[in-house]
Amino acid sequence: MHKDTHHSQRGVTLIEILVTMIITSIGLMGLMSLQMQALKGTKDAGNRSQALWLKNDIIDRIQANQAFSDSYITPADGVNCSIAITKACDGADVCTGEELANWDKFDVACPRNNDIISHPIQYLSGANLTISVASDTNLLVELTWKTRADDESITGAVRTANSGQLEMSGLAPR
């Protein structure tokens, strides 16, 4: 005697397809998560490169105008970009050492209209530049900016995170 197995198998194929779809969906969500983490890491790496360039740029400018290095000292809350500077020292204008220091701080710390194919871009979201006295012979240059949105805590010798803020610092001779 043969039992009819066709009746007992009814619906099993649909269940197998459903299980396969669930497993595939979980795998695709994992891939999307990996892609998002890679994008966040790429953005952080790009911002860190930009911050390093800006920090080194202002240190080089301080060294080039060392006689007026104390003019680079900023208030504790950083460079105020809402106050227009009196003289732009980016061309053939003749500037005093103090005017050059004010221009250098503004030029490095304050965002400008950067457009790529009519799309505005901003480097280092929430960037803030502070320069203070570190010692009799050095100025402390600190640059902070907002990190990725997940507020992941990052600590290390070069940068630290606090409430989504990264910091990079360096010394400039006085």
46-102 tens-digit pLDDT = 888 888 888 999 999 999 999 999 999 999 888 888 887 878 887 767 889 999 999
CA dihedral of residues 99, 104, 110, 116 (deg, nearest 10): 120
Q: Which residues contact 171 (CB under 8 A, 6 or more apart)?
A: 59, 134, 138, 139, 140, 141
Orientation angle between helical segments 97-109 and 12-64, nearest 10 degrees? 180
Determine the Cα–Cα distance for residues 40 and 37; give it in Å rounded to an integer. Answer: 5
| pTM of the shown model | 0.69
CA dihedral of residues 58, 59, 63, 65 (deg, nearest 10): 20
